[in-house]
Structure 1
Amino acid sequence: MHLAAADLPHRGGGRISLGHLAASALRREHRRRAIAGGAVLASALLLMATPRLRHSPALHLFADMRNLLGVPNTLNVITAYPLLLAGVPGLVLCLCGSGCFGISLRWEALGWFLFYVGNVAAAFGSAYYHLKPDDDRLIWDRLPMMISASSLLSILVIERVDERAGLSCLLSLLCLILVSSACERVLDDMRLWVVLNSAPCIAIPAMLFLFPPKYTHSRFWFIAIGFYLLARFEGLADRKVYSVNRYFISGHSLEHLCFAMVTLILTVMLSFRNIKIARDS
């Protein structure tokens, strides 16, 4: 019997043809692609409809600007280094290859490499920025974290959708990051940066729910993204968090620590996971 015409038993007692299953899977794939295309279109329309966002001196005024032991903005500087402690082991293991980490696709390995490089660079860049926050140093704080977030989103596309699509996503996002940095520096316009900074907060959780995992231990993704979203919230609620905990530690410092937790959790996931669904590269 031809494969497309074969029938499979159904729980309800009937039979379902393989052709019907393939058509249903194709419709789901089209819906997912339509959702992704709609998200890109909505972001572009939002970008065009929003007035230009200029730099403000208030951007560099953080809740906790205490000078302890002669180090300006001490806690904001110190809390950047857990990113280094979490990122270096992951980067070393990533360079060791699939023998240490559950990575089966070539471009997936590139995504994880850029994720860990971004974290290590963010530790130094963020500390450098917080020693003397100003417009000139801001890019060293933002650029590495944007690379890490974009790499995570691209890794999910590679893992759960298609390797070529994920590579295209990675290269496109890296180019847009450079464009956003140029717009911010030359045109004094932060709109594209805001869109790129917000996109992973929406796209990554959506992909975790919409697409099946290729590997085991996928629950670690949900824990890591929970910390990622918590970090973003704490950064936005910097002063509120600082006042709630009676001026012990600010929301921005906690944001650094939560980002380090994201890296640590994902490193543990990579160490334990195995292939669950075979997929051609």
Structure 2
Amino acid sequence: MLWVDHHLPCGKRTRLWGGAFLCWVCLMLAMPKIPHSPKQHVFADMRNFLGVPNTLNVISNFPFLVVGVLGLVLCLQGSFSAISLRGEVWGWAFFYAAIAGMAFGSAYYHLKPDDNRVLWDRLPMIAFASLFSCCIIERVGETIGIICLFLLLLLALASIAYERMFDDLRLCMLFQLIPCVAIPSMSFVFPPKYTHSRYWLWTTGVYLLAEFEALADRKIYRTNHYIISGHSLEHLCLVMVPVLLSVMLMHRNIKVTRWRLNN
């Protein structure tokens, strides 16, 4: 099957991203300031095993290190044959590096949760930025995807700095929410370059499930008779996001041939 990709005209593309940015600004202005609360550092399961504080919340981050390191090695070695563009290599490499970094950052935070350490629990923001840019490269185009990669990485760092300086969680919350809406939307609006594109939707669903587990931390802990908390389950559920995406990269193939007429 041959499909000629003319890309979006420059004017329409500018209006599209301008509209998205305007929506983001409106959401930011409409939401009230969300300061840190001491309660956010109090988790349901704070048991201590073998001298490790908050043991299950700490060790449940270990799978991120395994998946992140393996994915980064396979990506840089070119073992994922479906990664056909240089921009995709950069995007997926940043993604897997951020996943590996999450293991250290989140574990460090959960050893002694407080406002000073929560900064290290924000490394998923780098993963969100990288993953979103990979989707843009695949669906929209390599050039705009690479530009978005660096802009989103800067925005992720700016969001973390804003939270730290102004004690306001709005930017970080919106940064995590937008990919959950944008990636499924792009999956329906823009035709896929590769097969197995349904994995994008599955990973979005898994991420939303993980967020529900975090919100229901204490209820889940009580429901399973204090075996494992919702927050620890959130970590184990979140690690399925890079696992599913790795399965996608291992099995997908180029679905259509794209002729870049306006590169």
Distance 2:194 2:28 in 1: 35
Larger Rg: 1
Q: Secondary structure at the match of 1:52?
A: coil
Equivalent position of 2:106 in the other structure: 126
Q: Are residue 190 (structure 1) and residue 169 (structure 2) matched?
A: yes
1:203 corresponds to which residue?
182
SS at match of 1:64: coil
Q: TM-score, normalised by structure 2?
A: 0.89
CA distance in 2 between counterparts of 1:129 and 1:186 reads 19
- Write the distance in 2 (CA, Å) between the matches of 1:243 and 1:178: 36
Give how far 1:127 is off. Answer: 0.6
Identity of aligned pairs, percent? Answer: 56
Q: Which runs of 4+ in 1 moved over 6 A?
A: none
Q: Which residue of 1 aligns with 2:195?
A: 216
Q: SS of 1:135's equivalent?
A: coil
Letter paired with 2:51: G
How many Å apart are 1:33 and its aligned residue?
7.2
* 1:1-281 pair list within 5 angstroms: 30=12, 37-97=18-78, 99-142=79-122, 144-279=123-258, 280=260
- Does 234-243 or 133-142 show the bigger shift? 234-243
C-alpha change, 1:234 and 1:35, in structure 2 (3 Å) is farther
Distance 1:264 1:51, change over 3 A: same
- The 3 A distance-change label for structure 1 pair 245 and 37 is farther
Kindly indicate whether the alpha-carbon contact (under 8 Å) linking 1:93 and 1:101 is maintained by their aligned counterparts in 2.
no
Q: Deviations over 1:39-63 (max 9, x none)?
A: 3322211212323221111111111
Task: Report how far residue 77 of structure 1 moved.
Answer: 0.4
Counterpart residue type for residue 27 of structure 2: L
| Equivalent pair of 1:158/1:167 in contact (CA under 8 Å) | yes
How far 1:221 moved relative to its partner? 2.3
Shift of 1:220: 2.4
Higher relative contact order (CA 8 A, sep 6+): 2
CA offsets 1:143-201 (integer angstroms, 9 cap, x no match): x2111111111101000001122122211211111111211112222221111121112
**Residue identity opposite 2:143 in structure 1:** R
Whole-angstrom distance in 2 between the partners of 1:153 and 1:110: 12
Unaligned runs of 5+ in 2: none
How many residues get paired?
Answer: 256
Q: Which amino acid aligns with 2:63?
A: P
TM-score by length of 1: 0.84
Q: Is the 8 A contact 2:43 2:231 kept in 1?
A: yes
Q: Is the 8 A contact 1:94 1:101 kept in 2?
A: no
Aligned counterparts of 1:272 and 1:54: Cα–Cα separation in 2: 43
Q: C-alpha root-mean-square deviation of aligned residues, in Å?
A: 2.3
Change (3 A) 1:122 1:22: closer
2:124 and 2:5 mapped to 1: Cα distance? 40
> How far off is 1:74 after superposition?
0.8
Unaligned runs of 5+ in 1: 1-20
Structure 2: how far apart are the matches of 1:265 and 1:109?
18
What secondary structure, in the 3-state scheme, does the structure 2 residue paired with 1:136 have? coil
